[in-house]
Amino acid sequence: MNFKKIGKIIAATAVASCGVLSAAVASDCKNPEVIRFSMIPTEETTQELALYEPLVNQIKAATSKNVEFFLPTSYASVVEAMLGGFVDLGMHGPYSYVIAQEKDPELRVIATYAKHKGHFQEEGPGYKAVLVARADSGFKSIEDIKGAVIGLTDPASTSGNLLPRVSFTKVIGSELEDYFSRVVYTGGHDLSAVAVFEGQVDAAFVATHRLDNVLDRGIAKMEDYVVLWSSPVIPQDPFVVNGRLCPELVNQIQKSRNDYNGLIINAGGYTHTSVAIHDALKILKIPIIELHISNIYNREDFRHKSLISKVAKGVICGFGSNGYVMALEAMKKLLD
């Protein structure tokens, strides 16, 4: 796989998909009663339904259709589900999208997202693959780590497999399996980062924004890692639609992101743990109010930390169900 081809295909497809998709012919296009949505597994797969509930609700309102979430088991499961027509809308990695698009040219990118600056993550619509080891491992260079045990994420991962095998191998002048004593797949970026921290592997290739998620969850600290190699910037994950959907339906899905002027969210227990929800809310360009029926600061210590507060205009807590009325009044003032 030519890495340069990935950028070209994504860029060309994104441009071609900005307007109405002409590939779908109105007479035989797909207009399902239920829209199925899926995404590549992340560090919080079990929380995906909560994470994408705002998006699902917006798509429901914009299309007047029900939306079902297909919980994936791997990158490949999302690809195969879209190729088979079972999934209509999916979030892929850049590499897994190219794999899918080569098999079905009708698949089209309709959106992507940008990230704010984090620990290892730079601000912008891209991220990097980094090779990290424990800071106290003694590894200080690529040469030091020769013969070590290395972690990859998934065969269809861009930063966790493709870049290491295409870009990094040019640096070391050999295949990964020849340079390292053992190469293993961990199943996810968070699992790779944790495996490094816990000493299960000597080093691992992870995406910068996924590594940030592990730090934000308090599993490790930035100073626990040392970066031995960094890739060029990679485009962020694309949202992909089945090109056989009717053009009007695709346009409704695209416009659903702009259907709301503000968001009031009570994330319950996910408030304190879900980096994925934090990242999803951070993308929004509308005011956000965080709401809790109880006073979280009068409860257990672990509830005092909120990942949502960092992206919210304000927080209302401790006023029971009346908090929703207060939140609506506050939102009205923000929007006036």
- Whether the predicted pLDDT of 146 surpasses 80: yes
| Residue 122: DSSP 8-state | P
CA distances from 163 to 197, 232, 265 (A): 22, 9, 37
Range of weakest confidence among 97-101, 138-142, 259-263: 259-263
Q: Is the dihedral of CA 161, 224, 134, 307 positive or negative?
A: negative
Three-state SS for 108? strand
Which of 82-86, 139-143, 253-257 has the largest mean confidence?
A: 139-143
Look at the domain 263-335 and name its fold.
Rossmann fold (3.40.50)
Regarding pTM above 0.85, the answer is: no
Query: Contact at 8 Å (CB) between 242 and 89?
Result: yes
Q: What's the length of the chain?
A: 336
Q: What are the DSSP calls for 2-36, one per residue?
A: -HHHHHHHHHHHHHHTSS--SSS-TTT-B--SEEE
Rounded Cα distance between 92 and 292, Å, is 33
Q: How confident is the model at residue 45 (pLDDT cuts 50, 70, 90)?
A: low
Q: Which helix (H) or strand (E) holds 196?
A: helix 189-197
Radius of gyration of the chain measured on its C-alpha atoms: 21
CATH annotation of 126-235: 3.40.190.10
Chain centroid to CA 156: 15
Cα within 13 Å of Cα(156), Cβ side: 19
- Is the separation of the CB atoms in 203 and 117 below 8 Å? no
Identify the residue whose tokens are 């009205």: 332
Residue 43 CA to residue 247 CA, distance in Å, equals 33
Q: Is the pLDDT of residue 155 over 60?
A: yes
pLDDT winner (highest mean) among 103-112, 179-188, 308-317: 179-188
The CA distance from 138 to 254, in Å, is 49
CA distances from 174 to 92, 122, 146, 163 (A): 29, 29, 11, 14
CATH 3.40.190.10 domain position(s) in the chain: 3-112+237-258, 126-235
Which fold, 3-112+237-258?
Answer: D-Maltodextrin-Binding Protein; domain 2 (3.40.190)
CA distances from 31 to 25, 56, 85, 141, 245 (A): 12, 17, 12, 54, 6
Exposed/middle/buried for residue 83 (C-beta within 10 Å: 0-12, 13-18, 19+): middle
Q: Is 279's pLDDT higher than 50?
A: yes
* pLDDT score at 36: 92
Residues of the chain with CATH 3.40.50.9100: 263-335
